[in-house]
């Protein structure tokens, strides 16, 4: 049996909470070992793809309606991949938790992860440890990412949201 989920209310709530919404394009930078790293240009709820059929630029601005539409578009493309990659039968809260994770780390990172294997094996004990391990950016543990991973994991294992 394959999964055929759409992102539910809890998934959207988590993504909006942790991503935040910016109607102006921005680019985060961080330094490690005297090297500066730049994240992609982002707008809305973490959208980094095309906007108005062209690459997103730092000068771009959007409306709240456009931000909501971009979120729906981004969720739709990820839903298809998650439904194909995860062969273990999920419930809605588990799908939503995975969506929040994938929305942040990307499809390729999830596809190549031990975490996907553990989800498909329904190995809850090891799954928890590996899920919480996705709390770094540039090799640095970030409190915000740890809180996000913990919240996602609670939704996955207990079916509830705790901010």
Instruction: Give pLDDT tens digits for 50-93.
Output: 998 999 999 999 999 999 999 999 999 999 999 999 999 999 99
Catalytic residue among 19, 79, 80, 158: 19
CATH of domain 9-158: 1.10.530.40
* Distance separating alpha carbons of residues 41 and 49, to the nearest angstrom: 9
CB 30 within 8 A of CB 138: yes
Q: Supply φ then ψ for residue 79, to 5 degrees.
A: -55, -45
pTM, rounded to two decimals? 0.92
Decide if 19 is catalytic.
yes
Instruction: Give pLDDT tens digits for 1-33.
Output: 678 999 999 999 999 999 999 999 999 877 777
Nearest CA among 30, 71, 78, 29 for reference residue 51: 71
């Amino acid at each position: 049996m394959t999964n055929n989920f759409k992102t539910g209310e809890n998934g959207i709530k988590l993504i909006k909470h942790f991503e935040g919404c910016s109607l102006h394009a921005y680019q985060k930078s961080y330094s490690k070992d005297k090297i500066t790293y730049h994240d992609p240009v982002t707008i809305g709820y973490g959208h980094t793809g095309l906007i108005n059929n062209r690459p997103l630029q730092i000068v771009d601005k959007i409306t709240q309606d456009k931000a909501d539409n971009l979120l729906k578009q981004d969720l739709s493309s990820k839903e298809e991949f998650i439904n194909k990659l995860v062969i273990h039968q999920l419930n809605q809260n588990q799908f939503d938790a995975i969506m929040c994770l994938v929305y942040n780390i990307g499809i390729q990172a999830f596809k190549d992860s031990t975490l996907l294997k553990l989800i498909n094996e329904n190995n809850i004990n090891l799954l928890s440890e590996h899920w919480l391990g996705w709390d770094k950016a540039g090799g640095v543990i970030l409190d915000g990412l740890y809180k996000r991973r913990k919240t996602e994991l609670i939704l996955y294992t207990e079916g509830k949201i705790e901010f």
